[in-house]
Amino acid sequence: MQIYLDNAATTPLDSEVIQVMVETMQSDFGNPSSIHAHGRQAKTIVEKARKTIAQLLHASPAEIFFTSGGTEADNMAIVRSIEAYGITHAITTPIEHHAVLHTLEELEKSGKIQLDLLRVDAQGNVDLTHLEELLAQNPKSLVSIMHANNEIGNLANINKVSEICQQYQAIFHSDTVQTMGHYPHNLSELKIDFITGAAHKFHGPKGVGFLYINANNKIKPLIFGGAQERNMRGGTENVYGIVGLAKALEIAYRDMEEHQSYIQGLKSYMIDELKKAIPTVEFNGNTEPQNSLYTVLNVSLPCTNMNDMLLFNLDISGISASGGSACSSGSEIGSHVLKGINANPDRPSVRFSFSKNNTKEEIDTVVAKLKEICEHA
C-alpha cells in the first residue's frame, strides 16, 4: 500500500479539476491575446477564472494576476514593490519559505535594502513586539510574513500584522501559498498589499498561481515581453492551468468546512497515536489547532542514529513524507526552519502533511512503522 503524506509539497489533482481542464484542452486551444474567435473564447475563459477567484477572495478581478506559481508571485511582489516605493528596509522571519527569504537576502547582498529578521520562539511563533520595534525605527519598510509555515505549520496572525503595518504605513506582503484553499481569505476586510497562491497546494495543477495586488499599489512587471495580464506579466497565459486553478479554488471553498474538520481530526489522531506508540516523541512548531495549519505535522523522533535514513526507510515502506534535521550532514544543508527554532539537531524530523484523501487506517500504518523504526534504530 502506497501512502502519500506530503501534501504540503503538492497535492493530487481533484477529479473535477481534471475534467474541466481536459474539456478546455479539447475545445479551447486559442491564444487569449489573439483577436479572432478562437482567441476571444480563450480570453473569455481566462477572465471567467479570474472573476471566480476574485469573488472567492472578496477582491476585484483587476487585482488578480496569473503567474507560474507562488515563487514567481512572491518575487514579483517583493522585488517590484521595493523598487516602486523606494524602500530601503525589509523585515521578514528566519523561517520564511526560500521564495521570500532568498529573494530578500539577494536584495540585501546587492545593496538595495537592509534586512532584519524577526525573533521567533522555540515553537516558531513570530514576535510581533519586535516587529513594532523595528517599524518604529524604520517605518518605510516592506514586511513579508507568511500566513502558515510550510515545514512546521505555525499560523501567523496576519490580521494583527496588517494592523501594525497600517500604523507605520509599511507595505505588507504575505506568502499565503500554504493556506490558500484551506482557510478563507476576505480581502475586503484584510488590509494587505500582496498575497500569493499556487494551485497545486489545493488539488489544482502545477505551474500556475496568482498574485493579488491591492488596487492602491502600482508596480512594474517582473517578466517583460508582452501585454498579457494587463501589461503586468509577459507571456502567453496558461489557459488550461488557469481553468484548473479556478476550479480547484472553487471546490476548496465549497468543501472547506467539511475538509478542515476531517483533516484536523486526522492530525489530532496522529498526534495522540504517536504519543502512545513513542512516548518520547516531540513535535516541532505549535500544534494547538487555533495556531497551527491543520494540514501539517512536524514530528521529531528519538532515533538519533537515523538522521540520514529515516525518510529512506519510510519510502521503501511505501510512505511518502518529507523533512530532515536541523543539522548539516554530508551534502544535506538541513532545514533552516528547524534551525530557526533551535530544534534538537540530533533528532531526525519528518513533516507529515495531510489531505482530504488520507485515512485513519493510513495513519495507523505510519505510526506502526515509525515505532518499528525507532525500536530497531
Q: Has residue 333 got a pLDDT over 80?
A: no
Listing DSSP states for 211-244 in one string gives: EEE-TT-----SS-SS-HHHHTS-S---HHHHHH
For the residues 143-172, what does the mean pLDDT come to? Answer: 97
The per-residue pLDDT of the chain, averaged, comes to 95
Q: Has residue 55 got a pLDDT over 60?
A: yes
pLDDT digits (tens, 9 = 90+) for 215-260: 999 999 999 999 999 999 999 999 999 999 999 999 999 999 999 9
Q: Which are the contacts of 35, defined by CB distance < 8 A and separation ≥ 6?
A: none
C-beta contacts of 191-196 below 8 A and 24+ residues apart: 191/162, 191/163, 191/165, 191/166, 192/158, 192/162, 193/77, 193/81, 193/217, 194/77, 194/81, 195/147, 196/70, 196/73, 196/74, 196/77
- Asked if residue 204 lies in contact with residue 244, where contact means CB atoms within 8 angstroms, the answer is yes
pLDDT digits (tens, 9 = 90+) for 265-315: 999 999 999 999 999 999 999 999 999 999 999 999 998 777 668 999 999
Q: Has residue 57 got a pLDDT over 90?
A: yes
Hey, what domains does the chain have and what are their CATH numbers? 3-11+256-376 (3.90.1150.10), 15-254 (3.40.640.10)
Of 198, 201, 205, which Cα lies nearest the Cα of 239?
A: 205
For the residues 343-367, what does the mean pLDDT come to? Answer: 95
Q: How much is the pTM?
A: 0.95
Catalytic residues: 327
What SS3 state is found at 329? strand
DSSP 172: E
For the residues 115-138, what does the mean pLDDT come to? Answer: 97
What SS3 state is found at 91? strand
**pLDDT band at residue 326 using 50, 70 and 90 as cut-offs:** very low
